[in-house]
């Protein structure tokens, strides 16, 4: 399957809401993703199979307006997992963040995603802190 990765790619709110709900659970209610992303993000990456064009993956790239970018909500549809789409999303996001002048790309992840981010995507482990609000 040939995948096309689009930096700041077009998407519909309904398709992104459905993909997000599939990947993370929670409500699939209406969300104005476009307004949210335009307000808070450096960009995002959409992954779509070239032959069908459905939204197979997505990652949001938030930033501090300077040297630091942050991956949020990397998600691949269940039907498209284990084919390298997630790594392609991350690689496209890293390339675009670098082109925008960012020097660091951060990501937080759960333990079961460690092989994906460290091995498949090339991140290195660091110490970090988290405070639940």
At residue 27, the pLDDT reads 67
| Per-residue pLDDT at 26 exceeds 80 | no
The domain spanning residue 48 has which CATH number? 3.40.630.30
Asked if residue 13 belongs to a domain, the reply is yes
pTM of the model: 0.94
Smallest CA-to-CA distance from 50 within 84, 112, 1, 97 is with 1
Smallest CA-to-CA distance from 68 within 125, 109, 106, 37 is with 106
Domain count, the chain: 1
Asked if residue 132 belongs to a domain, the reply is no
Count the residues in the chain. Answer: 133
Asked if residue 129 belongs to a domain, the reply is no
Asked if residue 19 belongs to a domain, the reply is yes
Q: pLDDT band at 28, cuts 50/70/90?
A: low
Boundaries of domain holding 18: 3-120
Asked if residue 20 belongs to a domain, the reply is yes
Q: pLDDT band at 93, cuts 50/70/90?
A: very high
Q: How far is CA 54 from the centre of its chain?
A: 16
Residue given tokens 């498949």 in the structure block = 120
At residue 31, the pLDDT reads 86
């Amino acid at each position: 399957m040939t995948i096309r990765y689009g930096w700041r790619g077009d998407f519909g709110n309904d398709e992104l809401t459905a993909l997000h709900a599939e990947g993370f659970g929670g409500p699939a209610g209406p969300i104005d993703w476009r307004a949210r992303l335009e307000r808070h993000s450096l960009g995002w990456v959409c992954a779509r199979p070239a032959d069908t064009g459905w939204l197979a993956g997505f990652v949001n790239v938030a930033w501090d307006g300077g040297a630091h970018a942050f991956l949020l909500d990397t998600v691949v549809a269940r039907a498209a997992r284990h084919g390298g789409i997630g790594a392609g999303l991350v690689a496209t996001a890293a390339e675009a963040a670098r082109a925008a002048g960012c020097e660091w790309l951060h990501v937080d992840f759960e333990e079961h995603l460690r092989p994906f981010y460290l091995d498949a995507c090339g991140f290195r482990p660091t110490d970090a802190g988290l405070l639940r609000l």
